Amino acid sequence: MKQDGRQFDSHGRLRHFLTIEGLPRQTILDILDTAESFIAMGEREIKKVPLLRGKTVVNLFFESSTRTRTTFEIAAKRLSADVININPSLSSTAKGETLLDTVRNLEAMHTDLFVVRHASSGAAYLIAGHVSEHVHIINAGDGRHAHPTQAMLDMFTIRRHKGPFENLRVAIVGDVLHSRVARSEIHALTTLGAAEVRVIAPKTLLPTAVEKLGVHPFTDMRAGLADVDVIMMLRLQRERMTGALIPSEQEYFNLYGLTAEKRAYAKPDVIVMHPGPMNRGLEIDSAVADGPNSVILPQVTNGIAVRMAIMALIMGGTPAAEARRAP
């Protein structure tokens, strides 16, 4: 597979982390394997390694997300980087400064890595095309396009609980149309060779010609969840919707909300996932979200190790094997 020049440098090393689409399978596996070496750090008395000592990381979040921003901050600090959190709504962007002007000014303060979350698709790509060669960009979610680190932490969670992807049937359920998470998950699962990827939603929340992404679409929960190993629920993204795409929230829950009864259509040992934040009683019933099949909280824990791995690989200047040995 040809490497994406926007993500790799001239030596073939991962420079930015903008999207899962087009990433070689081995790069994804390197990230997952490197994250394994960091997962136990949370249980140590001293939770730091010096891989990024002296580096500066700026969390530049134009959209709010406490969970994602916090796990990035913890990940960077555990790698011994200095971390700055910028709230653009309180900064010069609120006074009319452009996105690139904001980044250029922060870059002039010797920033090494920007973690960018933005409502516009392609924002991280735009920044990556205008920063100096030594500066790295991680996409923490851009519009309806991609959320690659969420996909990676979900792949890590699936592999830890279910083993090789080649044997797995995975169902992604809910607002696929507006979900950058769903797009990144689909690219990751297909690249890793999942046996089958299904998407389940009302027709109004399925992208046109979604089959071209290599998935099997369903509009019925019973058929879509039959014999699956993994259920990924998606948040119903009211803020991205225009028009009445669902008849009512109660009707949506009745048909597509994950309850214990619907979960029983899947395999008995199915794992249930959700990228958060959850709308309980709309996308998922509390008995399922907090039940024995749920791995929703482990997803959050795993996000720290995975984001550490991505930062270490793109900023450390070391091969994946060396980064894995660091702890």
Catalytic residue IDs: 67-68, 95, 117, 147
3-state DSSP assignment of residue 313: helix
DSSP 100-157: HHHHHHHHTTT--EEEEEESSTTHHHHHHTTS-TT-EEEEEEETTTB-HHHHHHHHHH
For the chain, report the end-to-end CA distance as a whole number of angstroms. 31
Q: Is the dihedral of CA 60, 65, 66, 69 positive or negative?
A: negative
The Cβ of residue 50 has, within 10 Å, a number of other Cβ atoms equal to: 10
Q: Compute the residue count for the chain.
A: 327
Q: How far apart are CA 245 and CA 247, in angstroms?
A: 7
Nearest Cα to Cα of residue 300 among 41, 68, 56 = 68
H or E, element range at 26: helix 25-38
DSSP 280: B
- Extract the tokens encoding 82: 């200095």
Dump strand ranges (E) for the chain. 56-61, 82-86, 113-118, 136-142, 169-173, 196-200, 216-218, 230-233, 271-273
**210, 186 contact by CB (below 8 A):** no
DSSP 243: S
- Extract the tokens encoding 219: 């509009």
The Cβ of residue 10 has, within 10 Å, a number of other Cβ atoms equal to: 8
